[in-house]
């Protein structure tokens, strides 16, 4: 038995479950500690054994694999408990990133803990944090939502519940739904709210693009390749309610829109009045749509 002893604060030594983060793209993004654990545990519980086999072969690791995914997690969790009871140590991995975060694993971790066995998490790759670090957002707080519902009506209901929150919103999205989710966000949050679109993080065709929700569709349409890959979407926080009622800023905007293109008028209104860009952009779109102002573009 290739047992790993984890020594706790009281000197306790016994088999345990390691929750191990694996790369989200670039295979070099794995810690030395993670590699050591994957080599030394008796069994690795993997979301997709084919994906994990590729990683293990890359690093010359031959540890036995056990499938643990969303369709068998409750049953597989009992297998982990049985292994631990037999004195074995186990590592839990997902296909990419940190298990149990918008990935299988949470039920298994809870079952192992309830059975009285220690669980140790190894820090590592995480798509949401990777996107946040590269986005350049100064928001002091963020809310990680993960994947929105697949059904359009349910998705819009969830977005409505998030609309007024004063936090940067972090979503995961799949390539076949990203355009629909962006369109719903624009409809619920307003076309002027900012978004960072992070795709294929750590991979060869990684891209990080900032625009407004209203501009995102055109950005996707400009290059079909931009619809490929896995996405992290970071949507700006809702503006404080008192900013939306800044009559002086809106009045400045209305005057500028008579003579200038929309984007230029919004930018100048922000600089002159100190008003919120998202609020003024939404107001400008409303004015143009209503026909209340001549088209200066």
Same domain, 11 and 117: yes
Residues 215 and 270 in one domain: no
In a domain, 214, yes or no: yes
Strand pairing of 168-173 and 231-235?
antiparallel
Among the candidates 125, 150, 179, a domain finishes at 125
Q: Please count the CA atoms within 13 angstroms of the CA of 248 that sit on its side-chain side.
A: 7
Residue reference for tokens 């604060």: 9
Residue 297 included in any domain: no
C-alpha–C-alpha distance, residues 76 and 45, integer Å: 9
DSSP 63: -
Contact 211/197 with Cβ under 8 angstroms? Answer: yes
Residues 161, 180, single domain; the answer is yes
Q: What are phi and psi of 261, to 5 degrees?
A: -60, 155
Domain end, chosen from 56, 91, 125, is at: 125
Q: Which CATH number characterizes residue 182's domain?
A: 3.30.950.10
User: Are residue 162 and residue 251 in the same domain, yes or no?
Assistant: no
Among residues 74, 96, 125, the one where a domain terminates is 125
3-state secondary structure of 200: coil
Residue 180 and residue 98 share a domain: no
Ranges under pLDDT 50 in the chain: 1-3, 5, 7-12, 243-244, 297
For residue 138, give both structure tokens: 């100064």
Residues 76, 187 within the same domain:
no
| Distant-in-sequence, close-in-space partners of 296: CB < 8 Å, separation ≥ 6 | 257, 258, 259, 260, 261, 262, 265
The 3-state DSSP class for residue 231 equals strand
* Residue 43 belongs to a domain: yes
Residues 174 and 255 in one domain: no
* Residue 119 covered by a domain: yes
Number of domains the chain is built from: 3
Q: Are 257 and 209 in the same domain? A: no
- Same domain for 17 and 105? yes
The answer to whether 42 and 3 have CB atoms below 8 angstroms apart is yes
- pLDDT, residue 127, reads 96
Q: Is residue 296 part of a domain?
A: no
Question: Is 1 a domain residue?
Answer: no
Alpha carbon distances (Å) from 104 to 85, 93, 100, 107, 158? 22, 9, 5, 8, 22
Full residue range of the structural domain in which residue 258 is found: 241-290
pLDDT value, residue 185: 97
Looking at the structure, do residues 212 and 253 belong to the same domain, yes or no? no
Asked if the structure places residue 295 within a domain, the reply is no
The pair of three-digit structure tokens given for residue 177, joined into one six-digit string: 């739904």
Question: Do 135 and 210 have their domain in common?
Answer: yes
90 belongs to a structural domain: yes
25 and 65 share a domain?
Answer: yes
Assign residue 15 the CATH number of its domain: 3.40.1010.10
């Amino acid at each position: 038995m290739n047992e790993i002893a984890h020594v706790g604060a009281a000197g306790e030594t016994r088999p345990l479950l390691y929750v191990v983060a694996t790369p989200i793209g670039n295979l070099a993004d794995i810690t030395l500690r993670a590699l050591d654990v994957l080599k030394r545990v008796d069994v690795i519980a993997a979301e997709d054994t084919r994906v994990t086999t590729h990683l293990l072969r890359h690093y010359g690791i031959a540890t036995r694999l056990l499938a643990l995914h969303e369709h068998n997690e409750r049953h597989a969790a009992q297998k982990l408990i049985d292994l631990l009871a037999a004195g074995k140590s186990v590592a839990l991995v997902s296909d990419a990133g940190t298990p149990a975060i918008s990935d299988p694993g949470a039920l298994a971790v809870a079952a192992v803990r309830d059975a009285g066995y220690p669980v140790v998490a190894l820090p590592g790759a995480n798509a949401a944090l990777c996107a946040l670090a590269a986005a350049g957002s100064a928001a002091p707080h963020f809310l990680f939502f993960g994947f929105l519902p697949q059904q359009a009506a349910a998705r819009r209901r969830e977005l409505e519940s998030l609309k007024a929150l004063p936090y940067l919103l972090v979503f995961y999205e799949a390539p076949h739904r990203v355009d629909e989710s962006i369109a719903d966000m624009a409809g619920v949050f307003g076309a002027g709210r900012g978004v960072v679109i992070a795709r294929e993080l750590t991979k060869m065709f990684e891209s990080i693009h900032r625009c407004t929700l209203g501009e995102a569709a055109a950005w996707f349409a400009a290059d079909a390749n931009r619809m490929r890959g896995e996405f992290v979407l970071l949507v700006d926080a809702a503006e404080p309610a008192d900013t939306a009622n800044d009559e002086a800023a809106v009045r400045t905007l209305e005057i500028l829109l008579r003579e200038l293109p929309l984007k230029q008028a919004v930018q100048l209104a922000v600089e002159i009045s100190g008003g919120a860009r998202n609020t003024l952009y939404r107001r400008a779109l409303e004015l143009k749509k209503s026909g209340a102002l001549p088209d200066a573009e």
